[in-house]
Amino acid sequence: MTDFLDRIGYDTVDAGPLADSWRFQPDTPAYGVIYSADPANREQETPAGAGVLRAALADAG
């Protein structure tokens, strides 16, 4: 599946097994805020690349 997504232009990020899903729950670095151009103003959304998401997941632990 990841090969197909790569071919059509999407990045995939392996966030780990279900047991690690806490890493992208509300109030963690990988949840929501990384998609805000200005974290103080969540009305301005911006894309977050795979590298940004991987870094946020790593910051969560």
pLDDT in tens, 36-58: 767 677 677 777 788 888 888 88
pLDDT > 70 in the chain, percent: 90
Q: Residue 18 — very low, low, confident or very high, per pLDDT cuts 50/70/90?
A: very high
Ranges of each domain in the chain: 18-60
Q: Residue 15 — very low, low, confident or very high, per pLDDT cuts 50/70/90?
A: confident
Its pTM stands at 0.56
**Distance between CA atoms of residues 33 and 48, nearest Å:** 10
* Averaged pLDDT for residues 11-36: 83
- Write down the residue that tokens 């690690």 correspond to: 20
Contact 16, 61 (CB under 8 A): no
